[in-house]
Amino acid sequence: MEKGAVLAKSLTLRQVVFVGLAWMTPMIFFTVYGVAFEASGGLLVPAYLVAFLAIFFTAYSYGMMAKAYPIAGSAYTYTKKAVNPQMGFLVGWALLLDYIFSPIIACLTFGIFLNAQFPAIPVPVWIIGINIILAIVNIVGIKSVARISGFSVLLQIAFIVLLCALVIKDIVGGGGTLVSASTFLHPDMSLSTIFAGAAIICFCFLGFDAITTTAEETINPTKTIPKAIFIIVCIAAALYLSVSYFTKIAYPNFSFHHPDTASMELIKLIGGNLLNAIFIAVLVVAIFTQGVSSVTSVSRFLYALGKEAILPRKVFASIHPRFQTPVLNIVIVSVISLISLFISLDTAVTFVSFGALTAFTFVNISVIAHYYVRNRQRSFGQTFRYLIFPLIGAGFIGWLLTLLSKQTLMLGLVWLSIGFVYLFLRKKLSTNSSRERGSEEIA
């Protein structure tokens, strides 16, 4: 690795949007359909609306912070710069759960759905195979990621539009109505259940935040990244709500045997084996590109931590002179992703949700700290933009965070405790080294 090698600045707005949507993966709606359905008590539409509202305010805060600090690092960088370095580290440590487990989920879902379609080939074979391919594609470079992402996103959107058209046909053909309040309200509806579902569903919106890690590879990032964030969130919300709304009207009593493959049962109900075959093909492409994009994001996040010397600089901040990508980080992420051989899908999703929701909370707080407190931007309009909006975002996300399962919260706190110990030991070693150098100079 050459010392002077840097990340190539080449991504346009369109490419950043495609990378973000590919990381988010519109088809993620189907991979977590069963888990989200159970968590929300079957009321996916209100749960997705709550999640969208929470994410919307947080997306606004991400846009504001991307303007202030257009560098890789995401919530870690924003909290470090706006609040303080120690808090920034702990937020970054929490965010590692999000970024590290996202490629794991991609590998795991790839294995689960391919094994369901081709039972003769074991899940571990699919997982190991996709893991190797993801590493190779990422090593080649960011432009290859953007090109693959564009094709995948368009394919996924086309499938979801086709699916909605078929469901609408079933509704109209059966004499039903396309307007129904039952998708939002139900006699047995529980607000706590809807919000608990929204806490899990937030996972489906992850991706808009990940594009902030590509800031150093984006042309004019102070304008491009905020625009891309809002485009991504709005497209995702429209797709998720459309599928949830129309399937609830058409199949109000739908049930399934296993949450991991619930979407396959739904697809067969809508269009039989032919639609299911198309679904599997599109899903394979979608999971693949989500895996590619998530490896891109976590490798860039580790690069940011390496540049700051939070992690060993020689390993994590190194850039390959030929490919201009953090090759060592990509290899490390690929090795860690083999955890997908031993973990369940719902456990991986909750880990991602804990890391993401923690980071989201502090990005909202960072907007207040940077703009309203430090820069004293406190006019009437600025008070709404830099205090009220981020407070709503932080409150919404913080509440959703408390609704995660006790086991998830406990394991998340254990992870944060490990990070705190690492930070303490690192600071102590740094202080001792400084003292030793000072003693040598005096001698």
Report CA-CA distances (Å) from 168 to 31, 42, 161, 175, 246: 22, 19, 11, 11, 7
pLDDT confidence of residue 384: 92
63 and 230 in contact (C-beta within 8 Å)? yes
Reported as a single tens digit per residue, the pLDDT across 112-158 is: 888 888 889 999 999 999 999 888 888 876 665 666 667 888 899 99
At residue 191, what is the residue type? L
What would the two tokens of residue 413 be?
Answer: 């706190």
335 and 107 in contact (C-beta within 8 Å)? no
Find which of 4-8, 65-69, 97-101, 411-415 is predicted with most confidence, using mean pLDDT.
Answer: 411-415
pLDDT confidence of residue 2: 47
Closest residue by Cα to residue 285 from 158, 139, 123, 161: 158
Domains of the chain, by residue range, sit at 13-431
Q: SS3 sequence, 321-334?
A: CCCCCCHHHHHHHH
3-state DSSP call for residue 262?
Answer: helix
435 confidence band (pLDDT: 50, 70, 90)? low
- Radius of gyration of the chain, Cα coordinates, nearest whole angstrom: 22
Reported as a single tens digit per residue, the pLDDT across 354-383 is: 888 898 899 999 999 999 999 999 999 999
Bridge partner list, 218: 11
Select the CATH number that applies to the domain covering 13-431 from these four: 2.30.40.10, 1.20.1740.10, 2.60.40.680, 3.30.390.50: 1.20.1740.10
Reported as a single tens digit per residue, the pLDDT across 180-239 is: 766 666 666 777 788 888 877 877 887 677 777 677 777 888 888 888 888 999 999 999
53 has a pLDDT exceeding 90: no
Bridge partner list, 11: 218
439 has a pLDDT exceeding 70: no
3-state DSSP call for residue 218?
Answer: strand
At residue 364, what is the residue type? N
